[in-house]
Structure 1
Amino acid sequence: MPSTVEIKRIGAVLCDEARPLPERFRALFTLRNLGGETAIDYIVECFSDQSALLKHECAYCLGQMQDKYAIPKLVTVLKDTKQDTMVRHEAGEALGAIGCNSVMGILKEYCNDPIIEVAETCQLAVERIEWLHSKEKQKESSKNPFSSVDPAPPLTEEDLVVLQRKLLDEKLPLFDRYRAMFSLRNINSDASALALAEGLKCSSALFRHEIAYVLGQMQNAAGIKQLKCNLQQEDENPMVRHECAEALGSIAAQECLHTLQDFTQDKEVVVRESCEVALDMLQYEQSEDFQYADTLVKLS
């Protein structure tokens, strides 16, 4: 286990705004993997950063770490209307990922936030926590092959046609559609990736952004065409375009490289920064490097 001094050195890399963003992202994920209060303190420090993309990723990592120590700061970020929508959304999702009943009050309060992406996120977080403490949860034993903490559990259904129908049915509760989404992701085939890609045409920006995220997790080239389409649409929500860019970086095909290079000068800062980070991820995926979160090794 790294010493406190080593964790502080990694934290210094994360918080150094003069360093390239991809380098800071690698430091962030190194801290996420190490865990502990010192690591969280450095991640939390970045919520005053200029980059909404980095702050959003910090909130995501705090949720994945599932450490209650981060809850007070995540609540503060959710409440802060001066923060970018994607940062507040991710703070709400992180509170749902940590899964404590103690945050139900604040999440329910923000289920009616005027920003629809924040409201929908808090609604999902409430339903996830309710599910965690339900009898249904005790009966289910589904495993997540991607080892991520997701905003909704997968369904036990395995029929692609049924799952896609639920995924695209905008009359169903968003939580149910998310469950279908993660079921399709876990199947992880060309057919399930294509079914998911159809979700990038749905009306909810939050939903489209999550579709892009899971397509990136799958790293299946079948999703490239629709991901590129949404990234290329200038009128698409920036949080969706950003997630499409990062997904293309994870898939790491050659055509992804050219697309990402084309958008490194996009007018939206979060899209430009996402392409920069995605190109670093693509380079990692095409390399023989042992791990992406390699800051500790580099500092050593």
Structure 2
Amino acid sequence: MQMSCTYWIPLPLLSLSFRSLLCVCNATSAATYNFSLFQLLFFLVSFLFVRSGSPPPLLLSFPLPTLSLSPPPRMLTYESLREDFRQLLDPQSSLDLRLREVYRLKQTYLHTLPGVEVLLEAVDTTDSVLLQHEVVYNIGQSGCDAAVPGLVSILRNQRIHYHPSGAAAAAAADDDFAGYDTVTRHEAAEALGAIASPAAIEALRHYEQEDAEPEVAIRESCILALARIYMQEKKGKAALQPPADCPYVSVDPMPAFAAETMSAEELQRRQGAVPTTVEALTPILLNTDGGASLLERYMAMFTLRNIGTDAAVDALSRALREDTSSALFRHEVAFVLGQLERPRSQPALIAALRDEAEAAMVRHEAAEALGAIADEATLPVLREYATHPEPIVRDSCVVALEMHAYWSNFNSNANGAEQAEKEAAGGATKPTGNNHNLTRNENVVEAKAA
């Protein structure tokens, strides 16, 4: 219910002491009405006057502000969000349901502290590496500095201890804790780089050392994360932002090549030329003899993604199958091919998924990329590997099949609506192909864990 009217108020009444009015406000602080100090003043004095067609001397006309009698909106808290996303936190919920809840949280509360806290709690509610690293990836995408301690704990292979039921529950959970998978720990390192907080530097420096960390993928993730943090410190956040016309909204491990992202030494070594063509970028992407660093190869990868031509897709497809130096690099290439959603990359992705000698983290990304492309020709191989003994490969194929079903239905509905519009307009009625739009990239591909 709302009320609004105009009353004539004598000027002397406006000189009421602030302290007196404050007392009145304090006395009514328990009320559900939501109005300011001056609204309260106007409300009280309105009962002393009647409506008038013209103001008497020394009177001013003030419209009585609208009073909202509806209850105030519920404050967003960790507890309220835990209730909203109880299925995400429930170990008995199915994997596909929990992943959908991760995506829902990403679309609504990812950039809030309660949202990040719910994700941090979710990490230790599952043994699924796929779910864990999807959750950790999105924590990094939040950009929330408050998440750094939890991410450092994952990198150190220590439980986060987000247990609302208390210390006893946390201690009990530690009894059967076998440690985080390499994929989850790598994701934590990458997330620390995405947040780019200096508070993470000490831990990242420690785990980039071979004597401290035996897993190459984790060491390389720390190297990339440190490089991203140092780049932000030296060149500012603007240097890490994607080009204005870039359709991809993910926070990438490294930016694309640009004058702003290259050091003076790099520019000098390349004779002042910034590599921005497929011809210039391909040798950097495919270099494994030390002529290009891992950082430069990542930058070449994302520059090629932004170019997005057939030639760029072909170069990335070659890198996925020809590289032998870094599983981390290959898994990021597979993710980028999923972002591009180009059917011409399917042979390389299928070959990576079928390769039993390939790292699980690469095969998992290849499966999810095939799901993002959503071509019926890939359904047999996805069904075949949906029963694979490697959990993250198996789960990724199951999710890929669900992604395919969702987007096939989405495209069918979209094409049907478009065809109906053309028929109504008397135009062509041939259905269009897949709908490769930003919404699709944003809702599915961005929610990966690199």
Same fold (TM over 0.5): yes
Quote the offset at 1:132 in angstroms. Answer: 1.5
Q: TM-score, normalised by structure 1?
A: 0.91
User: Cα 1:253–1:103, aligned 2, differ >3 Å: closer, same or farther?
Assistant: same
Deviations 1:150-177 (A, max 9, x none): 0001013321021111001121110110
Q: Which residue of structure 2 aligns with residue 72 of structure 1?
A: 149
Aligned amino acid, residue 74 of structure 1: L
Quote the offset at 1:7 in angstroms. Answer: 3.4
Q: Which residue of structure 2 aligns with residue 38 of structure 1?
A: 114
Aligned amino acid, residue 105 of structure 2: L
| Greater radius of gyration (CA) | 2
SS of aligned partner of 1:133: helix
The one of 98, 103, 110 aligned to 1:29 = 103
Deviations 1:42-97 (A, max 9, x none): 21122221101111111100111111121111000000072100000000000000
1:287 and 1:110 map into 2 onto residues whose CA distance is 44
Q: Which residue of structure 1 aligns with residue 44 of structure 2?
A: none
Q: Does 1:234 align with 2:356?
A: yes
1:139 and 1:11 map into 2 onto residues whose CA distance is 35
1:114 and 1:150 map into 2 onto residues whose CA distance is 25
Contact map agreement 2:240 2:254 (CA 8 A) in 1: no
Structure 2 residue runs of 5 or longer lacking an equivalent are 1-72, 159-178, 259-274, 414-438, 445-450
1:140 and 1:277 map into 2 onto residues whose CA distance is 31
Quote the offset at 1:10 in angstroms. Answer: 4.2
Q: Which residue of structure 1 aligns with residue 341 of structure 2?
A: 219
Q: Which residue of structure 2 aligns with residue 13 of structure 1?
A: 87
Quote the offset at 1:139 in angstroms. Answer: 6.5
The one of 284, 297, 303 aligned to 1:166 = 284
Aligned amino acid, residue 150 of structure 1: D
- Greater CA deviation, 65-74 or 1-10? 1-10
SS of aligned partner of 2:208: helix
Quote the offset at 1:140 in angstroms. Answer: 7.9
Aligned amino acid, residue 105 of structure 1: E
The one of 114, 126, 135 aligned to 1:58 = 135
Alignment of 1:1-300 (within 5 A): 4=76, 7-33=81-107, 34-35=109-110, 36-48=112-124, 49-80=126-157, 82-112=179-209, 113-135=213-235, 142-143=243-244, 144-156=246-258, 157-170=275-288, 171=290, 172-200=292-320, 201-203=322-324, 204-288=326-410
Higher relative contact order structure (alpha carbons within 8 Å, sequence separation ≥ 6):
1
Quote the offset at 1:135 in angstroms. Answer: 3.2
SS of aligned partner of 1:17: coil
User: Cα 1:72–1:169, aligned 2, differ >3 Å: closer, same or farther?
Assistant: same
Contact map agreement 1:13 1:24 (CA 8 A) in 2: yes
Quote the offset at 1:6 in angstroms. Answer: 6.7
Contact map agreement 1:242 1:274 (CA 8 A) in 2: yes
User: Cα 1:15–1:138, aligned 2, differ >3 Å: closer, same or farther?
Assistant: closer
Quote the offset at 1:3 in angstroms. Answer: 6.6
User: Cα 1:129–1:286, aligned 2, differ >3 Å: closer, same or farther?
Assistant: same
Structure 1 residue runs of 5 or longer lacking an equivalent are 295-300
User: Cα 1:101–1:275, aligned 2, differ >3 Å: closer, same or farther?
Assistant: same
Q: Which residue of structure 2 aligns with residue 297 of structure 1?
A: none
1:30 and 1:86 map into 2 onto residues whose CA distance is 23
Quote the offset at 1:129 in angstroms. Answer: 0.9
Structure whose residues are more often helix by fraction? 1
